[in-house]
């Protein structure tokens, strides 16, 4: 079993890669948040051994600031190795102000794979960056409860805050 320090190293910031992503963010056209099609092209598992470029990581960081994009990424992330590696990599390469969502997705992916200790390490990183984020809190509740992934009905309803059919507005 890897030590707690080894697990935190898997999601620790890589300052050189963060600088490259920051430079790519500075160079992006400020035309708005990348849309769902762009997001899907970025999170679709790449062939084995292929990493996102700094520009792609930058676009993904921007996309994840949009709640709809974050939910889409969440719904497409399971315990598959490619997504697991993607979110760990993006968490390391994202500039600190953008690392919360990728770290929460890394925690979610690790939890789905039954890697509770790694999920906790990634969740620690997400909480350090975005302690009040709703998605981080949801993932945190699952990880902290030690609920096995097979107990969660999936897919989750995308409109969790929608009133039930029996309620009156």
153 by DSSP, 3-state: which?
A: coil
pLDDT at 47: 62
pTM, two decimals, is 0.86
pLDDT-derived band at 160, boundaries 50, 70, 90: very low
116 CB-near residues (< 8 Å, 6+ apart): 110, 143, 146
Domain residue ranges of the chain, discontinuous segments joined by +: 4-146
pLDDT reading at 85 higher than 70: yes
Q: What stretches of 50-157 show up as alpha helix (H) in DSSP?
A: 54-63, 67-76, 81-93, 100-112, 116-129, 134-144
């Amino acid at each position: 079993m890897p030590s707690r320090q080894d697990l935190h190293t898997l999601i620790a910031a890589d300052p050189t890669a963060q600088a490259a992503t920051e430079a790519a963010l500075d160079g992006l056209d400020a035309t708005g948040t990348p849309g769902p099609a762009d997001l899907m092209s970025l999170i679709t598992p790449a062939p084995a051994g292929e990493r996102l470029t700094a520009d792609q990581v930058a676009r993904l960081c921007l996309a994840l600031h949009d709640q709809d994009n974050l939910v889409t990424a969440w719904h497409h992330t399971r315990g598959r190795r490619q997504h697991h590696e993607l979110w760990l990599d993006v968490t390391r390469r994202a500039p600190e102000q953008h690392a919360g969502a990728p770290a929460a997705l890394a925690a979610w992916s690790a939890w789905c794979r039954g890697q509770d200790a790694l999920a906790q390490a990634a969740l620690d990183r997400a909480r350090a960056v975005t302690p009040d984020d709703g998605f981080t809190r949801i993932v945190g509740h699952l990880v902290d409860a030690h609920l096995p992934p097979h107990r969660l009905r999936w897919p989750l309803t995308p409109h969790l805050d929608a009133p039930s059919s029996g309620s009156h507005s």
